[in-house]
Amino acid sequence: MRILTGIGVSPGVAIGKAFVREPQKFNVQCRHIETHTIEDEKNRFFDSIKKTVQDIEHLITTLSFSIEDQEILETHKMILLDPELEINVLGEIEAELVCLEFALYNYFTGVIDVFDNMENEYFSQRAIDFKEVAHRLLNYLSGETDAYIEELSGEHILLMEEMPPSKVTEFAAHDVPGICAVKGSKTSHSAIIARSIGIPMVIGIPNLLKKAVEGETVIVDGRNGLVIFSPDEDTLKKYKKYRWRQIKHKDDLKYLTGKPAITRDGVRIKILNNIEFPKELDLIKQNGADGVGLFRTEFLYIDKKELPDETFQYNIYREIAEKLHPNPLVIRTFDLGGDKLSGFLNIKQERNPNLGCRGIRLSLQYTDIFRIQLRAILRAAVSGNISVMFPMITGLDDYRAAMKILRKVRAELVAEGIECSESLSVGVMIEVPSAAILADQLAKECDFFSIGTNDLIQYTLAVDRDADNVARYYSGYHPAVLHLIEITVNSAKKANIPVSICGEMASERDFIPFLIGLGIRQLSVSPSMTLITKEQVMKLDSNALAGIIPEVKSRGSITEEQEYLKQWRTEHEY
């Protein structure tokens, strides 16, 4: 048995046979051509572009999951149809008398090298796009195809160097139960798509492909970030049991779709969803959530060739709101770090991007971009079920500065005679300790709170949420985190404003009794966690929860909190 540790980016357990997909190397020979065959090479160029574009268009119309997938494929199409590609490749064939494959190889490796050597995430994503396009083209020319995808089935765990976001849905369509990759991050598109669909995924394992043996049994533990090769009998039995329970559980939970989450003593808890892409709406419908508690709009900006304009955003917000109506749609203004927008803005690389110009700070610095988004939101919000919230608020100054812009934007729309919402409800994400500490003051001015525990843990404990070498310090059980949540909820109660949780904690079994016990009535979770969260809530009796809070407050360490919350679960058969 060999256990490799990585970062679990999509929870759940998958068991199957290792299907190792080595990174495709361009194996291109330089073949010299005669002058009289230049035209033939050119024709092969146009033919390969045409065929590859057709393949991509076919995928765009047949892939049904995500608009994001489709946009990635549209980007690939644009790369293929970019005049630069044609000029450079045909130019080299003619000038150097080399074959098409070699000219393509030179063009793509040149572009990929440039992007690969840039540190920021935006540009490294661009390199992935160019690599995918180069593979498609060269595969077509060499007669190789992505035929391996056809071989995939429900018994294969896919192990790759990096997971192209445009492929995750294809893998899901072949029932691939689990995915592992050498590279990636928790917030990479492929990780987000895997989470939404519910495929367990572990990334960040440097020697994954070297250590894997094709066809051997492998377990992916997406919750704990483990990949276990050739598990011993006990381990396999344990995980099989877990997996069986997981599958059975999923089936057993189907009856909850569309049912409201009500505790045993009749308290209604709203289970909302966190979404990143508009197409996730289908998943919301499938799982019967009560609306969207967090729309992470930054995904409308990331990896785009140009900034999304007002009409584009308005159409998306309006469409989602209409489909959800009368259920709510909470739009978070873009929570981008400078690195993610550096493709558009002249922003210096920051030493600590998480502590730098991100979230509302970036919006307040680049007000033109912020104003466009606010215009789109205010216009769409005439639907009546949209509200907006600001990320990374540290206190009243941030909130008031953002509100000043919002009011101004609304006044401009009114002056232009454009219909917009007069009564948009405006909330604050509580994800920085200072905002939690000052929640009393914020609650007097804003309309609702949404507690972002993912960042609240990161900033309270000074631990990078994505760094595996300090992962053991990142814990929601830390008494300081629980204390800040309590302060926030109490401030909201005092001011009589709603408060929800939209971080991962909202769907974690240990924490739900504590959160409901505090008085939380809205949990916003990933679509794939909707039914399981409903089930947890429905097992609870809110009267039995009152005792949890003083107990939690009396404990001073992570271990003690964890032990207590787990023990509570066991005692209450929860």
Residue 318 Cβ vs ligand PEP, minimum distance, rounded to whole Å: 23
CA 233/CA 479 separation, integer angstroms: 38
Stretch of residues binding ligand PEP (CB under 6 A), selected from 13-21, 71-79, 114-122, 451-459: 451-459
Say how many residues touch ligand PEP, by CB under 6 A.
10
Cis peptide bond upstream of 326, omega within 30: yes
Segment near ligand PEP (CB under 6 A); pick from 57-65, 175-183, 342-350, 447-455: 447-455
Q: Under the criterion CB under 6 A, does residue 508 sit at the interface with ligand PEP?
A: no
Q: How many CB atoms lie within 10 A of CB 398?
A: 23
Q: Which residues of 522-539 are buried (b: 16+ CB within 10 A; e: fewer)?
A: bbbbbbbbbbbbbbbbeb
Pick the piece of the chain touching Mg ion (CB under 5 A) from 173-181, 347-355, 396-404, 427-435: 427-435
Annotate 361-402 with three-state secondary structure: HHHHHCHHHHHHHHHHHHHHHHHCCEEEEECCCCCHHHHHHH
Residue position matching structure tokens 């076919």:
58
As measured in angstroms, the least distance from the Cβ of 454 to ligand PEP is: 3
339 counts as binding ligand PEP under rule CB under 6 A:
no
Choose one: 40-48, 261-269, 446-454, 549-557; the region binding ligand PEP (CB under 6 A).
446-454
Does 503 help bind ligand PEP (rule: CB under 6 A)? yes
**Would you call 502 a catalytic residue per the annotation?**
yes
Residue 180 or 192 with smaller CB distance to ligand PEP = 192
State yes or no: residue 452 binds ligand PEP (CB under 6 A): yes
CB of 79 to Mg ion, least distance (A): 32
Nearby residues of 114 by Cβ (< 8 Å), 6 or more positions away: none
Among 133, 502, 531, 552, binds ligand PEP (CB under 6 A): 502
Q: Does residue 427 contact residue 448 with C-beta atoms inside 8 Å? A: yes
Given 68, 303, 431, 561, the residue binding Mg ion (CB under 5 A): 431
Length of the chain equals: 574
The entry of Mg ion, ligand PEP, none near residue 453 (CB within 5 to 8 angstroms by kind) is: ligand PEP
Q: Hunting for tokens 């595996």 — which residue is that?
A: 468
Extract the tokens encoding 162. Answer: 């990096």
- Asked if 263 contacts 254 with a C-beta cutoff of 8 angstroms, the reply is no
Q: Provide the residue type at 456 as one letter.
A: L
367 vs 454, beta carbon nearer ligand PEP: 454
Burial pattern 104-136, b for ≥16 Cβ within 10 A else e, equals bbbbbbebbeebbeeebbbbbbbbbbbbbbbbb
Which strand ranges, in their side-by-side order, compose the sheet holding 226-229? 2-5, 226-229, 217-221, 13-21, 156-160, 178-181, 201-203, 7-10
Residue closer to Mg ion, measured from CB, 226 or 436: 436
| Nearer CB in complex with Mg ion: 221/431 | 431
- Distance, in Å, from the CA atom of 534 to the CA atom of 549, rounded to the nearest integer, reads 22
Rounded Cα gap, residues 177 and 10, in angstroms:
12
Show the binding pattern over residues 365-404: x = contacts ligand PEP (CB under 6 A), - = does not. Answer: ----------------------------------------
Shortest Cβ distance from residue 220 to Mg ion (Å)?
A: 26
| Site mask for ligand PEP (CB under 6 A), range 248-267, x = bound | --------------------
CA-to-CA distance for 227 and 532, rounded, in angstroms?
24
296 sits near ligand PEP (criterion: CB under 6 A): yes
Is residue 363 within 8 A of residue 370, CB to CB? The reply is: yes
CB of 93 to ligand PEP, least distance (A): 47
Which residue among the candidates 180, 357, 420, 502 is catalytic per the annotation? 502
What three-state secondary structure class fits 152? Answer: coil
Q: Taking the complex as a whole, how short is the minimal distance between the CB of residue 37 and ligand PEP, in angstroms?
A: 54
By a kind-dependent CB cut-off of 5 to 8 A, residue 503 interacts, out of ligand PEP, Mg ion, none, with ligand PEP
Q: Out of ligand PEP, Mg ion, none, which partner does residue 12 contact, by CB within 5 to 8 A per kind?
A: none
Q: Which of 235, 327, 354, 454 binds ligand PEP (CB under 6 A)?
A: 454
Whether 30 is catalytic: no
71 binds, among ligand PEP, Mg ion, none (CB under 5 to 8 A by kind): none
Opening angle at CA 320, ends 317 and 325, nearest 5: 115
Interaction of residue 453 with ligand PEP, rule CB under 6 A: yes
The reply on whether position 354 binds ligand PEP by CB under 6 A is no
Among 76, 156, 189, 478, the one annotated catalytic: 189
Burial of 254 from C-beta contacts in 10 A (0-12 / 13-18 / 19+): exposed
Q: Which of 71, 290, 398, 455 binds Mg ion (CB under 5 A)?
A: 455
Work out whether 298 is an interface residue with Mg ion (CB under 5 A).
no
Q: Rule CB under 5 A: is residue 452 a binding residue for Mg ion?
A: yes
Residue range at the interface with Mg ion (CB under 5 A); choices 73-81, 363-371, 431-439, 486-494 = 431-439
Would you count residue 71 as binding ligand PEP (CB under 6 A)?
A: no
The neighbour count for residue 155, using CB atoms within 10 Å, is 12
Give whichever of 48 and 333 is closer to ligand PEP, judged by the CB atom: 333
Cross-strand partners of 21: 160
Place of tokens 């985190």: 481
- Three-state secondary-structure class, residue 550: helix
d(C-alpha 300, C-alpha 309), whole Å: 10
Cβ 10 vs Cβ 195: under 8 Å:
yes
Question: Cβ of residue 360: shortest distance to ligand PEP, in angstroms?
Answer: 12
Shortest Å distance, C-beta 336 to ligand PEP: 11
Regarding 431 and contact with ligand PEP (CB under 6 A), the answer is: yes
User: Which two tokens mark 341?
Assistant: 């927008």
The nearest distance, CB 487 to ligand PEP, in angstroms, is 16
| Residue 359 engages Mg ion in binding (rule: CB under 5 A) | no
The nearest distance, CB 454 to Mg ion, in angstroms, is 5
Interatomic CA distance for residues 80 and 86, integer angstroms: 9
| Residue range at the interface with ligand PEP (CB under 6 A); choices 127-135, 240-248, 448-456, 529-537 | 448-456
User: Residue 94 phi/psi, 5° resolution?
Assistant: -70, -45
Q: List residues with catalytic annotation.
A: 189, 502
Q: Given the rule CB under 6 A, which residues bind ligand PEP?
A: 294, 296, 335, 431, 452-455, 502-503
Q: Given the rule CB under 5 A, which residues bind Mg ion?
A: 431, 452, 455
